[in-house]
Amino acid sequence: MSGIRQICGKELARVFYDKKMLFSVFVLPVVIMIAVMSLVNTLGRKQEEDVESHRAVLCLENAPDGFEELLKSSGISYTIKPFSDEGEVQTMLLEGEADLWIAFPEAFAQMVQEYRQGDAVPQIKTYYNPSEDYSREAYNTISTGFLELYRQRLLAERVDDMAGLTVFTVNSDNPEMMIQDDAKAGGKLMGMMLPYFVTILLFAGAMGIGTDMVAGEKERGTMASLLVSPIPRSAIVLGKVFALMIISGISSVIYVAAMVVFMPQMLGGSSEELGISLVLSPSQIGMLAALLVAIAFLYSAIIVLVSVFAKTVKEAGSYITPVYMLVLVLGITTMFTNGTPKEWYYIIPIYNTSLALQGILTQEVTGGQFILTLGVTLVLGAAMVIGIAKAFESEKVMAI
């Protein structure tokens, strides 16, 4: 036990006594994550605001009397470009100088007014350029929004009883239409996101340090000094795996805490507005903690196992990348799967943890499924630790 504690202590000291390391492991990723998310959000919002505040440039062809007044009264901000000929308007749309071209048929007002059953229904044609943001926005607000209002208005002039034409409405006065358990709904969203973050943060956070702990020691020639000390190889392995677990655990707690604290800045809204408020019961917290500790143990064991077979940190990095991708795929598959998972899914390592994490948050996981997941994860982690200890015995693998 003392050997495990000493090795673990040294590996932790390597990170915690080194200010640069401390900064690069715990602070920098958080700063980068918050900065990137905030930047993406700010830029996105700016672009949205820019599009919304833009005065739509319209070309009206044969517009009936009163159309412009109605447009003005609807609050849509726009400017009119005089219509010359079709070719010129098309060029203006292509070059982004005009946003929407509304072509009424000639004598539109007369056609509407003198309509008799069996007459051709007049058609308003609108043209826009979907690759231009301003044009697309003008099309959405005017062509699909405002023109519908205009149609309703003309229709009201034609018939006395609009209600008779409506037949029925859907949810026009039903504010309580959504019936859901808020805790479960919050859990559903978090359950989708959590396995993804756990995979990214726990595994990616441990990757760099883990490869350095084993392959780095071999490369620097410092591993042999540990191998001639009077502690069992298994103590060296466990000391390193536990240290890696602690480091990746702390880093993921910091990342998650930073994400919760800075969520409003990153996503531009409070967690209540974003619908991710979550209240957890003590038993849920306990189950989550047990699973996270187990998966951190398995991930650390995977990283150390892969690193043992590499001679250099660089080599370990290239071995670990495909493993990371596999873990990533297994970890985030739950984001895209619906329906009740089959029982045997809970014996697939990593995937079962994602399922169980999701299940705990949505309160759908059974005790059996939870125990099975925890058991599979711990047994596999322990098997890997035994494998690593065996590899430590091999002079070929250790390259000494």
78 phi/psi in degrees, rounded to 5: -155, 165
Beta carbon nearer to other proteins, 118 or 221: 221
Beta carbon nearer to other proteins, 132 or 217: 217
Contact call for residue 1 and other proteins (CB under 8 A): no
Shortest distance in whole angstroms from residue 400 CB to other proteins: 6
Neighbours of 243 (CB within 10 A): 26
Length of the chain, in residues: 400
107: left (phi > 0), else alpha (psi -120 to 50), else beta? Answer: left
Q: Are 38 and 265 in contact (CB under 8 A)?
A: yes
Neighbours of 202 (CB within 10 A): 24
Contact call for residue 389 and other proteins (CB under 8 A): no
Shortest distance in whole angstroms from residue 45 CB to other proteins: 44
Beta bridge partners of 128: 100
Contact call for residue 227 and other proteins (CB under 8 A): yes
Alpha-carbon Rg of the chain, whole angstroms? 32
Contact residues for 54 (Cβ-Cβ < 8 A; gap 6+): 134, 137
- Angle at 57 (CA atoms; ends 52, 58), nearest 5 degrees: 120
Shortest distance in whole angstroms from residue 19 CB to other proteins: 12
Instruction: Please give the torsion angle defined by the CA atoms of residues 151, 152, 157 and 162, in that order, rounded to the nearest 10 degrees.
Output: 150
Shortest distance in whole angstroms from residue 10 CB to other proteins: 6
Contact call for residue 395 and other proteins (CB under 8 A): yes
Contact call for residue 231 and other proteins (CB under 8 A): yes
Contact call for residue 284 and other proteins (CB under 8 A): no
Query: Cα–Cα distance between 394 and 159 in angstroms, integer?
Result: 91
- Pick the binder of other proteins from 107, 224, 285, 325 (CB under 8 A): 224
Contact call for residue 2 and other proteins (CB under 8 A): yes
Q: Which stretch binds other proteins (CB under 8 A): 106-114, 229-237, 301-309, 316-324?
A: 229-237
- Pick the binder of other proteins from 44, 66, 145, 232 (CB under 8 A): 232
Q: One symbol per residue from 137 to 166: x for binding other proteins (CB under 8 A), - otherwise; what is it?
A: ------------------------------
Beta carbon nearer to other proteins, 7 or 207: 7
Contact call for residue 10 and other proteins (CB under 8 A): yes
- Pick the binder of other proteins from 73, 169, 171, 225 (CB under 8 A): 225
Dihedral sign, CA of 54, 55, 59, 60?
positive
Contact residues for 384 (Cβ-Cβ < 8 A; gap 6+): 298, 301, 302, 304, 305
Shortest distance in whole angstroms from residue 390 CB to other proteins: 13
Residues contributing to the site for other proteins (CB under 8 A): 2-3, 6, 10, 13-14, 18, 217, 220-222, 224-232, 395-396, 400
